[in-house]
Every structure is written in structure tokens, then in C-alpha cells.
């Protein structure tokens, strides 16, 4: 059985567009969002 691993991204992000299967986010500070990939999970705090 695979273990799920979650890691918090250090930057706060803002959702700018929402579609049926995807969304677009940008950093609140305008910094590049490295290492965010398709199928990553985002949750609201």
C-alpha cells in the first residue's frame, strides 16, 4: 500500500481562474511557484 506524502508550499497562493478539472493560481508575492505539478493537491487553510 502506497503512503501519501504531503508537503506545504512556503508561498501563499491565490486562485485566479477555476475550470471543471483544473485551476490557475499565482503567488501573492509574485514569486515563481516552482515544483507545483499536475495532480498536486491544494487545500484551503
Is the per-residue pLDDT at 19 higher than 80?
A: yes
pLDDT at residue number 11: 83
Query: Which of 27, 2, 1 has the alpha carbon at shortest distance from 16?
Result: 27
30 has pLDDT over 80 = yes
Q: Can you give the residue ranges of every domain in the chain? A: 11-45
What average pLDDT does the chain have?
82
What are the C-alpha distances in Å from 23 to residues 1, 2, 4, 17, 33? Answer: 29, 26, 22, 5, 14
Mean pLDDT for 19-37 is: 85
**Nearest-angstrom CA–CA distance, 10 and 20:** 26
d(CA 12, CA 22) in angstroms, rounded, equals 18
Q: Which helix (H) or strand (E) holds 26?
A: strand 23-27
- Looking at the predicted structure, is the pLDDT value of residue 41 above 70? yes
Q: Looking at residue 45, what is its pLDDT?
A: 66
Amino acid at each position: 500500500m502506497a503512503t501519501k506524502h504531503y508537503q506545504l508550499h512556503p508561498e501563499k497562493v491565490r486562485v485566479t481562474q477555476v475550470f471543471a478539472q483544473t485551476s490557475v493560481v499565482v503567488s501573492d508575492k509574485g514569486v515563481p511557484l516552482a515544483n507545483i505539478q499536475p495532480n498536486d493537491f491544494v487545500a484551503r487553510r
